[in-house]
């Protein structure tokens, strides 16, 4: 086998990507970080971050240029999410969920649907949410109960969706519903675009959450919601396939969120131990502390490489993306939970207080092990891919 330099392109971060990182970091530290604690304390939508992301074209960077977007590649989108998550995990869900909600359209929708819904997202006129999970259909998505029945050229939607990020804020929602109750499991679900103004479409109360409190999570309720037939995404019956393809790509962005949280926690911990003194010297000079920091940094860098490789595979649409997307999300989120916990430990009692952002980062990190497929489900996904050969 001949190995060429192109075989290593997966691991090369371009100058453009690094320039992007600097630009996003500047926006995040100047326009987002100052409000992060208040957003968490008040459990309110991070409007300051929203406005800053729109103004800087980091709001929905993944939207292709032909739909008025900036056309950022998968790695660039991950860098945006990572850098925002470094200061506020709630705020990074704005670009992350915009991708999650709209990617089914990019992957499978008709040109008419794309041109109707993607430009307003690219312009920052709305966020775009994603409705897949239900109370009794979380990991087992194929068991969903939400139904859409055909009525002439329209569809009538009934049921509910749970754990929907940015629900109530978003104007548009990609919603999955069973359209053939007697059809084969997994081939009887269809994706639709639902608009906030549709009659019969309402929202549950905001969930009271451990973390990411600035990102509203609510149920979606559909009571005879009439959906025009031209809002079907892809082919009738292909909804679950589209949903799973979507998650292959967007799990990578959750990995990016996780490494952003972990990096932010590591940065805070390093700064603290260099200043804190005990027994007459900086605690950074104690070998036990140094070993903790070394392990934290090593794990963050390993997670970052996994996420970036998965992002490259996402951009190319590689056949092994399913494995790498699941692996990147699973590993990075486990690292985020461990690193934030260790960072709190390094600050001792101070880390346990709201005077420092680490307790928030630790709470925020937990969700990355749960949403877009729990890490147990990620391991199921990876194992299935291995066993397929």
Model confidence pTM above 0.85: yes
Distance CA 75, CA 63 (A): 13
Distance CA 53, CA 49 (A): 6
- What pLDDT is attached to residue 6? 45
- What pLDDT is attached to residue 227? 98
Percent of the chain surpassing pLDDT 70 = 97
**In the predicted structure, residue 7 carries a pLDDT above the cut 50:** no
- What pLDDT is attached to residue 11? 58
Q: How far is CA 250 from its chain centroid?
A: 6
User: Of the listed 83, 219, 359, 372, which one is catalytic?
Assistant: 372
User: What integer best gives the mean pLDDT of the chain?
Assistant: 96
Q: Which domains does the chain have, with CATH numbers?
A: 5-122 (1.10.540.10), 128-237 (2.40.110.10), 241-388 (1.20.140.10)
- What pLDDT is attached to residue 178? 98
User: Could you write out the DSSP letters of every residue in 340-356?
Assistant: HHHHHHHHGGGGGSTTS
**In the predicted structure, residue 3 carries a pLDDT above the cut 50:** no
Angle between helices 321-347 and 375-388 (to 10 degrees): 150
Classified as helix, coil or strand, 115 is helix
Distance CA 96, CA 100 (A): 6
Distance CA 193, CA 143 (A): 20
Question: Where do the H-state alpha helices sit in the chain?
Answer: 15-27, 33-42, 47-55, 74-85, 89-108, 111-122, 239-275, 287-316, 321-347, 358-367, 375-388
Band (pLDDT 50/70/90 cuts) for residue 2 is very low
Q: Contact 165/250 with Cβ under 8 angstroms?
A: no
Catalytic residue check, 299: no
């Amino acid at each position: 086998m001949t190995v060429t330099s192109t075989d290593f392109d997966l691991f090369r971060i371009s100058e453009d990507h690094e320039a992007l990182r600097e630009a996003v970091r500047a926006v995040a530290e100047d326009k987002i970080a100052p409000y992060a604690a208040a957003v968490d304390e008040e459990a309110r939508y991070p409007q300051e971050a929203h406005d800053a992301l729109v103004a800087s074209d980091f709001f929905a960077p993944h939207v292709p240029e032909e739909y008025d977007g900036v056309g950022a590649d998968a790695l660039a989108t991950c860098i945006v999410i990572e850098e925002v998550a470094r200061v506020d995990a709630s705020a990074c869900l704005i670009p992350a969920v915009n991708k999650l909600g709209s990617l089914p359209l990019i992957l499978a929708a008709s040109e008419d649907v794309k041109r109707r819904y993607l430009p307003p997202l690219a312009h920052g006129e709305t966020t775009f949410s994603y409705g897949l999970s239900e109370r009794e259909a979380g990991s087992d998505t194929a068991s969903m109960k939400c139904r859409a029945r055909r009525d002439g050229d329209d569809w009538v939607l009934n049921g509910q969706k749970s754990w929907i990020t940015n629900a109530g804020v978003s104007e548009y929602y990609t919603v999955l519903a069973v359209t053939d109750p007697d059809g084969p499991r997994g081939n009887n679900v269809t994706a639709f675009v639902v608009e906030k103004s549709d009659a019969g479409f309402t929202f549950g109360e905001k969930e009271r959450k451990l973390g990411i409190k600035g990102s509203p999570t609510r149920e979606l309720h559909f009571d005879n919601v009439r959906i025009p037939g031209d809002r079907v995404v892809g082919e009738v019956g292909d909804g679950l396939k589209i949903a799973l393809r979507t998650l292959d790509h967007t799990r990578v962005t959750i990995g990016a969120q996780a490494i952003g949280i972990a990096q932010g926690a590591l940065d805070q911990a390093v700064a603290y131990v260099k200043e804190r003194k005990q027994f007459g010297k900086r605690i950074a000079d104690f070998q036990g502390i140094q070993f903790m920091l070394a392990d934290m940094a090593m794990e963050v860098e390993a997670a970052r490489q996994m996420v970036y490789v998965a992002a490259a595979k996402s951009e190319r649409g590689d056949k092994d993306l399913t494995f790498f997307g699941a692996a990147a999300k699973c590993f990075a989120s486990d690292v985020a939970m461990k690193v934030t916990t260790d960072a709190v430990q390094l600050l001792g009692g101070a880390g346990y207080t709201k005077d420092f952002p680490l307790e928030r980062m630790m709470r925020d990190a937990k969700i990355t092990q749960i949403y877009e497929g729990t890490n147990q489900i990620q391991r199921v996904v990876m194992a299935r891919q291995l066993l397929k050969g």
